[in-house]
Amino acid sequence: MISIKNEQEIELMRKSGQITYEVLMKLKDFIKPGVTTKDIDKFAHDYIVSHDATPSFLGYEGYPASTCVSINDMVVHGIPDNTKIRNGDIVSVDVGSIYKGYHSDSAYTYIVGSVDKQTEDLVNNTRKALYAGISVIKEGIKLNEVCSAIGKVGRENGYGIFECLTGHGVGTTLHEDPYIPNLSNHESEGIILKSGMTLAIEPMFSLGTKEVWLLPDEWGIITRDGSVAAHFEHTVLVTKDGYEILTGE
Ligand code: MF3
Ligand code: CO
């Protein structure tokens, strides 16, 4: 069952999304060599709680932090610790907040200092895939048109597209129906978008494999071949003639 939000709920989703967005924008200046992933987490946590919201991930299925900070070959769900950011890293930060019961979820991959051209392209193309997916959204289309637009960018660049990691509906809980795979798939063909749906679209691509390992901490997910991975995510509202990005300007 895919929930449809009414105008009042959408207003709360907007507030939630705005706080999440601001965290990721403020982190652009905060993330530097020497900063630990725990410092990033504390920054995000403190920003969220000082804006009348709650970190969406903290305690979610036992998750111990407010953000996921995933460096280089870590795809997603990196638990913040004492690891220091270094020049040449790509750092993906995934964060969510709850405002008056409504969740928003967003992620951004930061390039620290200088990286090789291939890595820089991966980051830019993963962001491009996010907007390629979002730009087709409007009431009446098949969800698979979104999946397919995202997957096309990944495929054209020869990137690894993780089949087991998907976007999702978002609202009164962090993860709602439907699953939103990052490539064309049969199940999404049968789902028609309606205005009032709120979706977390989140492409993740690697420079190599689409296969992953789960770390012993049972959260962190890394590429099996050690290739670097990027991740971008927005919470998006479906409208009659298009969409509204809730975790953006
Ligand atoms: N954006 C991430 C996802 O949808 C959020 C993970 S929250 C965690 O998977 F608590 F599970 F880490
Ligand atoms: Co998500």
Give just the sign of the alpha carbon dihedral 126, 199, 40, 215.
Answer: negative
Q: Check pocket membership of 176 for ligand 1, CB cut-off 6 A.
A: no
Q: Give me the residues paired with residue 164 across strands.
A: none
Q: Give me the residues paired with residue 69 across strands.
A: 93
Residues of the chain with pLDDT below 50 are none
Q: Check pocket membership of 179 for ligand 1, CB cut-off 6 A.
A: no
Å from CA of 105 to ligand 2 middle: 5
Task: Look at residues 12, 232, 236 and name the one whose alpha carbon lies nearest to residue 126.
Answer: 232
CB proximity list for 178: less than 8 A, separation 6 or greater: 2, 143, 168, 169, 187, 188, 191
Q: What is the pLDDT of residue 249?
A: 82
Name the residue ranges covered by the structural domains of the chain.
7-245
Reported as a single tens digit per residue, the pLDDT across 230-246 is 999 999 999 999 999 99
Q: Which residues crowd ion ligand 2, with CB under 5 Å?
A: 105, 200
Any idea which residue has 């975790």 for tokens? 247
Q: Give me the residues paired with residue 110 across strands.
A: 91
Q: Check pocket membership of 105 for ligand 1, CB cut-off 6 A.
A: yes
Give just the sign of the alpha carbon dihedral 24, 170, 195, 127.
Answer: positive
Q: What is the DSSP letter of 78?
A: P
Are the beta carbons of 23 and 50 closer than 8 angstroms?
no
**Class (C level, CATH) for 7-245:** alpha beta
Any idea which residue has 């991930």 for tokens? 57
Mapped onto helix, strand or coil, the DSSP state of residue 62 is helix
pTM of the model: 0.98
Residue nearest to atom 8 of ligand 1 (CA): 57
Residue nearest to atom 2 of ligand 1 (CA): 94
Element of type H or E holding 12: helix 7-30
Å from CA of 120 to ligand 2 middle: 23
Any idea which residue has 């071949």 for tokens? 225
